[in-house]
Structure 1
């Protein structure tokens, strides 16, 4: 009885694994187009991140007193 259960478990776990192993991977997508809008906004994004860091430091400093 134990041999039958072991054999069934091996079959149950092996068959789906064989099916998934034969799946074809999806092809790679095309490269992004040049000149995305984020290229022109890097300076603004940098300033915004500095402002967020400065503001959070100021809030934490004021809240501790």
Structure 2
């Protein structure tokens, strides 16, 4: 039983290596192209999400503090 397991493992590993090496030969990089327009940097509003996470953290901390003081 142990011999079957190790031989099956060897076959699967060999098949994986063969498939991976075959797949890598098909991969090619894309050419430089025309370049296109340069993107303008945009501001990302993180204030709403950050303030909600901060409020949730404060609330969770207060709950833990109250639970600890009740013991």
- TM bucket (normalised to shorter chain) is 0.3 to 0.5
Normalised by the length of structure 1, the TM-score is 0.46
Normalised by the length of structure 2, the TM-score is 0.43
